[in-house]
Amino acid sequence: MAAIAAYKYIGSKDKNAVDKAAVQALETILRFAPIKTKIVIGEGELDQAPMLYVGQELGQGQDFTFELAVDPIEGTYPAAYNIAGSIAVLAAAKPKTMIYLPEMYMEKLFVSQELANVIDLKKDKPRNQAAINILRQYGIIVRLIGDGDVLAAIDVVNQEADFVYGIGGAPEGVLMAALAISSCANMQARLISYQDI
């Protein structure tokens, strides 16, 4: 529903309109859903979002509360400019199983099951360009992305890429970790403060 609501703003060059439409649609669906939910990773702490904020409880259910990590539009810039690479994302987990992360950066390495025991984030160089140079020396095709960590991780699951490496938002890292768990892939990560970037 978030993706459908945002559709009319695709190509509008207004990423706030894209995001607002998606957030409102997802919040409305969750508010009236027949299950109880609590937002653990939600819309930006930094912009003090009025909907889908961390700690918000939604839903009409009577049973235990599912914890949610949501990103109604991951990749608002591509959506606003009608470029491929946006996705609406929601991950659900049992209570007290999803980690809350503040707004900060995360170095992320998401690999397929086949590469899980071969690649180790501790062995990678700290800067993306150095890592890219090494990969290219070995004949590895490197595809650079500006936005869309989760969508890139889905490419790994779909065997359209071997791994995703980069530094991006920590909340998206939680969504990627949920994907890794549910698809038997592997993910390693390190938190990095905004000041260190």
Instruction: Give strand pairing partners of 57.
Output: 38
| pLDDT at residue number 103 | 75
How far apart CA 41 and CA 19 sit, in angstroms, is 16
CATH architecture of 2-93: 2-Layer Sandwich (3.30)
193: phi then psi, degrees, rounded to nearest 5: -75, 155
Cα–Cα distance list, 15 to 6, 49, 94, 104 (Å)? 10, 15, 32, 21
Which CATH number does 105-196 carry?
3.40.190.90
Residues of the chain with CATH 3.40.190.90: 105-196
| pLDDT at residue number 32 | 95
Run of H or E including 22: helix 15-31
pLDDT digits (tens, 9 = 90+) for 155-175: 999 999 888 988 888 888 999
| pLDDT at residue number 27 | 95
User: Which of 90, 26, 85 shows the shortest CA–CA distance to 59?
Assistant: 26
Residues of the chain with CATH 3.30.540.10: 2-93
**Which parts of the chain have pLDDT scores under 70?**
44-49, 123-128, 197
How far apart CA 39 and CA 178 sit, in angstroms, is 15
| Number of Cα atoms under 13 Å in the Cβ half of residue 13 | 0
How far apart CA 57 and CA 36 sit, in angstroms, is 7
Residue type, 189: A
| pLDDT at residue number 123 | 61
pTM exceeds 0.85, yes or no: no
Residue type, 137: Q
**Structure tokens, 184:** 């038997």
